[in-house]
Amino acid sequence: MISALLISGLTLKAQHDISVDVLGFAFSKYGLGYEYGINPSNSVGINVNFSSKNMFDDGISNNPIYAAKDGKYAYSEMNIVPEYKAFFTPNKGNDGVYLGLYGKFRTSKAAGNTYSDTTGFASTGNLKYPTTDVSTTGLALGVMGGYKWKTSGVLFLEVTAGVGKFLMNNVKYSSVKAEDDPNFNQEDYVPYIGSALAVDIRIAVKIGIRIGGGSQ
């Protein structure tokens, strides 16, 4: 009974920030963010978002030869982003200027991509166009900074910018023959900036509500 009361008291005093990234909507990314206030100057949190649009597609996979039979491939992506923030100008608890660290676990799948199979082409003169799924797994670490405006009520607005590096990027094809197609662009499915530069860029504009935290 005493333990339950203690836990209940700590929970009521704890600060919980729940947010959505409204800028992500412009890139067809939808998800939620959660942040726990350790104290007014430090917090930890996690963001989870999903997308049905591949913003890194350079257009090659939309060529009628290399796209799915209906002209598009089915795409899905998930990002899990844990983070730590240190606030330097807290006024209402975990607000003001901050710097932090983040990690990112990213998975994606593009289903129904067609590719050219030259097997038997020399003898028949006919190309085959079978389909393949392309799945990716990536892991990144980075640094970030930003500013959080907390109102006198429960609402807050936050802007975040960060840069990181992908330590791992794996690309797998359901058909191994697709890997031999020189026109099948693997970079359409990994979050590379420029020419094969494994850099992660984070920009977010969040709107959220704060639950708990006493008078902060």
Q: What is the largest CA-CA distance in the chain?
A: 82
**What percent of the chain stands above pLDDT 70?**
74
Helix (H, G, I), strand (E, B) or coil at 160: strand
Predicted confidence at residue 169, as pLDDT, reads: 86
Q: Which domain holds residue 30?
A: 15-212
Whether residue 109 lies inside any domain: the answer is yes
Predicted confidence at residue 214, as pLDDT, reads: 60
* Total domains in the fold of the chain: 1
Q: What is the pLDDT of residues 1-44, one digit of tens each?
A: 444 433 444 455 789 999 999 998 888 889 999 999 999 999 99
Whether residue 174 lies inside any domain: the answer is yes
Q: What is the pLDDT of residues 119-141, one digit of tens each?
A: 655 445 566 677 788 888 999 99
Whether residue 116 lies inside any domain: the answer is yes
Whether residue 10 lies inside any domain: the answer is no
Dihedral (CA of 189, 192, 197, 198) sign? negative
**Amino acid letter, residue 208:** G
Whether residue 1 lies inside any domain: the answer is no
Whether residue 173 lies inside any domain: the answer is yes
Whether residue 201 lies inside any domain: the answer is yes
Dihedral (CA of 93, 98, 103, 108) sign? positive
Whether residue 7 lies inside any domain: the answer is no
Q: Quick count: other Cβ atoms within 10 Å of Cβ 194?
A: 7
Global pTM exceeds 0.85: no
Q: In the structure encoding, which two tokens stand for residue 44, read together?
A: 């930890």
Predicted confidence at residue 17, as pLDDT, reads: 96
Cβ(99)–Cβ(144) under 8 Å?
yes
